[in-house]
């Protein structure tokens, strides 16, 4: 068994409805920063680097194919007192493979989500992390900053 990890800068975040953003900053030193009006929401999608097929030639041209499973994800972000992340999804292509209700508000987020051994899905397509952010009432305006997202995979082959 082997493990491999990949990181994605928050600058790659895709807003599902960019027209709702009142402030939108993309910079490599902060990632993506969004402020929206009170009472609005948005989904933020972060593409995660995904190996889907791995094979190696061993010995007399015998090909060994490896299985790739999602092991864990890490989110580095920040929400102020008037923004709340309430849902976290991981999709493999169009398939929802991880869904968690969360309640991140007014905090710096360094969240590691490790999947139990029995729940580590095999990866078939490109992965994306999606975050549902609600912009609450109050001053200052709700602000969400996504710095980065990381993913770790377990790679196994015959005999592992």
The CA distance from 44 to 60, in Å, is 47
pLDDT: which is higher, 61 or 3: 3
Prediction pTM value: 0.89
In this predicted model, what pLDDT tens digit does every residue of 126-137 receive, in sequence order?
A: 999 999 999 999
47 by Cβ neighbours in 10 Å (0-12 / 13-18 / 19+) ranks as middle
Whether the per-residue pLDDT at 57 is higher than 80: the answer is: no
Q: What is the CA radius of gyration of the chain?
A: 18
Please provide the DSSP assignment of 24-70 as one string.
Answer: EEEETTTEEEEEE-TTEEEEEEEEE-----EEEEETTTEEEEEEEEE
Give 121's pLDDT tier (boundaries 50, 70, 90).
confident
Nearest CA to 43 among 132, 145, 127?
132
Segment of 37-41, 66-70, 117-121 carrying the highest mean pLDDT: 37-41
The CA distance from 143 to 107, in Å, is 11
Contact indicator for 31, 9 with CB cutoff of 8 Å: yes
Query: What helix, strand, coil percent values describe the chain, rounded to 5?
Result: 5, 70, 25
């Amino acid at each position: 068994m082997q493990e491999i990890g990949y990181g994605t800068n928050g600058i790659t975040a895709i807003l599902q409805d960019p027209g709702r953003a009142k402030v939108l900053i993309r910079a490599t030193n902060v990632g993506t920063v969004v402020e929206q009006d009170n009472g609005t929401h948005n989904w933020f999608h972060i593409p995660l680097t995904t190996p889907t097929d791995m094979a190696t030639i061993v010995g007399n041209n015998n090909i060994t194919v490896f299985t790739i499973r999602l092991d864990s994800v890490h989110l580095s972000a920040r929400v102020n007192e008037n923004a709340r992340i309430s849902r976290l999804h991981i999709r493999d292509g169009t398939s929802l493979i991880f869904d968690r209700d969360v309640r991140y508000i007014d905090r710096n987020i360094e969240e590691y989500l490790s999947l139990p051994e029995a729940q580590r899905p095999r990866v078939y397509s490109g992965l994306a992390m999606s975050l549902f952010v609600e912009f609450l009432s109050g001053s200052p305006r709700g602000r969400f900053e996504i710095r980065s997202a990381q993913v770790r995979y377990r790679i196994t082959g015959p005999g592992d």
